[in-house]
Structure 1
Amino acid sequence: MKKSEINFTVELDADNIPERIKWDATEKPDGQIDDTKSISVSLWDDVQKNTMRIDLWTKDMPVDEMKRFYVDCLGGMAQTILRSTGDEFMSTEINDLCEKLVEHLKREAEGN
């Protein structure tokens, strides 16, 4: 059986706030350890029938980038739900929300 690993290393400050996040994976083409400002990992707990989440971001990640990160995550979920279940309604609803959020972010960037 083939195995693949994804590894995250989080460097914390004295207050346990992430200063640096590094990641690598066995399937990455370049095989290099890369830095990132944020990770969001969701795991389905089949026993509890709920989602466990790990959301981390470095203290120097700008708020506007954090908001964009989550809009991008939602957009990815829309694609995944369509591809994995064929549920066009859910995919469209999530994409519609993403479009509204993008417009909100644009207005924020313009200062309105």
Structure 2
Amino acid sequence: MKTAEIKLTVTLDDNNVPEKIVWTSTDSKGEDAVPVKALMLSVWDPSYKNTMKIDLWTKEMPVDEMKRFFYETLQTMGDTFLRATGEQNIVEDLRDYCAHFAEKMEITR
């Protein structure tokens, strides 16, 4: 059995606001830590049957990039949901909403 590890390192300022976020993985084939401006981590707790989340972004994350980050996250959530459940119809509805979101947020594809 193989084990992989994902490590997130967050550097905070004096007010506990993220200044720097980097991630590494044991599967990254020797690459150094990758700096990122934002992350959304969701994990399912089977005991309580709910989601635990961590949403962080650095001071350097501009609003236009945050809008794009949300758009792309919603799109990939649809991909994941389709692979996990096969629920094509609801994923098509989510895609329609993503198009609406992109239009309202003035995101160019």
Do both share a fold (TM > 0.5)? Answer: yes
Moved over 6 A (4+): none
Secondary structure in 1 matching 2:104: helix
Give TM-score, length-normalised by structure 2.
0.92
Match of 2:31 in 1: 31
CA distance in 2, matches of 1:30, 1:16: 30
Give TM-score, length-normalised by structure 1.
0.90
Amino acid in the other structure paired with 1:32: D
CA distance in 2, matches of 1:3, 1:81: 24
Residues matched between the structures, number: 108
Q: Which runs of 5+ in 2 are unaligned?
A: none
Query: Residues 14-41 of structure 1: CA distance to partner in whole angstroms, max 9, x if unpaired?
Result: 0000000011111124522110000100
Query: Residues 54-97 of structure 1: CA distance to partner in whole angstroms, max 9, x if unpaired?
Result: 00000111011112111111100100111121110221111111
Match of 1:42 in 2: 42
CA distance in 1, matches of 2:40, 2:8: 11
Secondary structure in 1 matching 2:106: helix
Match of 1:6 in 2: 6
Residue 102 (1) aligns with residue 102 (2):
yes
